[in-house]
Amino acid sequence: MREEVVLITGANGEIGHGLIRYLSGLNYTIVAIDVNPLDRPLRSLVSKWIVGDILDQILLGRLVVEHQIRTIYHLASILSTKAEYNPETAHRINVEGTLNLLRLAVEQSQWQGSPVKFIYTSSIAAYGLETLDQKNQVGKVKENEYLFPTTMYGCNKLYCEHLGRYYSKHYRQLAADSAAGPSVDFRCLRFPGLISAETIPTGGTSDYGPEMLHAAAKGTLYNCFVRPDTRLPFMVMPDAIKSLINLEAADQEKLSRFVYNVTSFNPTAREIFEITKKAFPDARIDFEVDQRRQKIVDTWPADVDDSTARQDWGWQPDFDQERAFNEYLIPAIRKQYMETENH
């Protein structure tokens, strides 16, 4: 009998780290895939870790044969900044890789006779506001508003949201056997900027927040690439993990949509700067605006409306802005770099 597992792609990234730690604590059997070797402290927490590519269909086919996959957490992607330098590569990984996994999920669903849950992480990069004035006027943006992304990453994420809906509701709808067997149970979170105390940011356009904190704790100069008045929604990694777990556990009948906004707080870059300076008085932080990256950030909403997630499946972040910085980020980041210095 095949072993029932949870599959995590992009397992060595920021979200993957937190998700592996959480799920392993609940005794889930985890198969982790990443293009890089899984960090050593995490290896004992998973049943199997694979250095592999989600474009490798032979690898994915082997997973279907060897395991009974109950849930896929699809985290792997090329992020917004890196995607702009290699948009075709980003499309291949972000879209074709997702398509491969959705096809795997269909095969697995039909094999085991019940839908595989497919938890997909999207982004506020799926939005695209036309002007800064519009951004400042519209307030909290709902899931179905202003979906005109200006980056390859945002285009990829928005398209994959539609792919998930298609595979859940309309897959092969004209085929003679289209009604045969269960389909995929696709569920998606449109994340704001994420800040982790444990892992270093890896190429997101909203990473000025976590980068500022980590640089201050290390004592290195940081040049913030956005204006001080730039405002974006954020949440800390524990809440990101909580939202993934809660959405996965939600009763399918209570879900009114496939894609949900989630958020926690929305400071300006200046507010993050002031909090960081208060915690690390010797921090060296300058604002040197990169106009090209600023232009992208200005198309993303200053805040998002996550009321549907709160209503459908009881979403509620544990960390508001004060708790996020004072109880989680600053103490944990300070401890991390003090331990590094002592070694």
Beta strands in 111-214 (DSSP E): 117-123, 140-141, 185-191, 193-195
Res 202 pLDDT > 90: no
Whole-number Å distance between alpha carbons of 329 and 235: 11
pLDDT value for 179: 60
- The single-letter code of the amino acid at 37 is P
Q: Which helix (H) or strand (E) holds 242?
A: helix 237-249
Query: Which of the listed CATH numbers 1.10.10.10, 3.40.50.300, 3.40.50.720, 2.60.40.10 matches domain 77-342?
Result: 3.40.50.720
DSSP class of 55 = T
pLDDT tens-digit map of 18-60: 999 999 999 999 999 999 999 999 999 999 999 999 999 999 9
Ranges of each domain in the chain: 77-342
Q: Which of 204-208, 274-278, 309-313 has the lowest mean pLDDT?
A: 204-208
pLDDT tens-digit map of 221-253: 999 999 999 999 999 999 999 999 999 999 999
Res 339 pLDDT > 80: no
Res 300 pLDDT > 80: yes
- The single-letter code of the amino acid at 146 is Y
- Structure tokens belonging to residue 90: 């980003």
Whole-number Å distance between alpha carbons of 295 and 160: 24
Higher pLDDT, 258 or 339: 258
For residue 235, the cross-strand partners are: 194
Residues 119-126: what's their mean pLDDT? 98
Whole-number Å distance between alpha carbons of 209 and 195: 7
Residues 260-283: what's their mean pLDDT? 97
Evaluate whether 210 touches 265 at the Cβ level (below 8 Å).
no
Res 215 pLDDT > 70: yes
pLDDT tens-digit map of 81-97: 888 999 999 999 999 99
Residue that is written with structure tokens 């730690």 in the block: 21
For the chain, the average pLDDT equals 93
Residues 113-136: what's their mean pLDDT? 96
pLDDT tens-digit map of 130-163: 999 999 999 999 999 999 999 999 999 999 999 9
**Greatest Cα-to-Cα distance within the chain, rounded to the nearest angstrom:** 68
- 280-283 long-range Cβ contacts below 8 angstroms, 24+ apart: 280/216, 280/217, 280/334, 282/219, 283/212, 283/215, 283/216, 283/219, 283/222
Residue that is written with structure tokens 């506020």 in the block: 124
pTM for the whole thing?
0.95
